[in-house]
Amino acid sequence: MDKRTKARELAMQALYQLDVQGPDILEPLSRFFMESDTDNFIRNLASDWTKGAWDNLKQCDELIGDATIKWEFSRLSPVDKSILRLAVYQLKFCPDIPPKVIINEAIELAKKFSSDKSPAFVNGVLDAVLKKITNEKSTGR
């Protein structure tokens, strides 16, 4: 498995833990990363993405909420929420990662960790978020 793919997987799992258990586990997450992988690059990247997504949670959740027109944000499964939060964080704050890669990786996470309908749902939400982010950049907002 690619190192960035593994880091995404760990970050998504950490975001899930934060969503379910609350922000008090942010510090102990370093132990989770240490136990999950021996590669420093993977651990550091997963930690950076987790902290980045969690620090920008409100912005990410607003973008997801705007894109999930027919769904109430609170009704999203914690797994799908974690996948979307990570991907939206990367779309918004990681310009070094191509959007197509972010979306494809999120779809793969949904295939691996969520329901049969989740990959299409994740794809639709992220396409809408990407359009909004792109539009905001082009209009200077």
- Taking the C-alpha atoms of residue 56 and residue 51, their distance in angstroms, rounded to an integer, is 8
Superfamily per CATH, domain 3-139 = NusB-like (1.10.940.10)
Q: At what angle do helices 57-67 and 118-139 cross, to 10 degrees?
A: 110
Residue ranges per domain, the chain? 3-139
Please report the pLDDT score of residue 136 as a whole number: 86
Whether residue 80 contacts residue 118, with contact meaning beta carbons closer than 8 Å, is answered with yes
Mean pLDDT along residues 52-74: 90
- What are the tens digits of pLDDT across the range 93-138? 999 999 999 999 999 999 999 999 999 999 999 999 999 999 988 8
Closest alpha carbon to 117 in 64, 80, 88: 80
Percent of residues, the chain, with pLDDT higher than 70: 99
What are the b/e assignments for 5-29, b being 16+ CB within 10 Å? ebbbbbbbbbbbbbbeeeeeebeeb
Considering the entire predicted model, what is its pTM?
Answer: 0.94
Mean pLDDT along residues 36-45: 94
Amino acid at 99: P
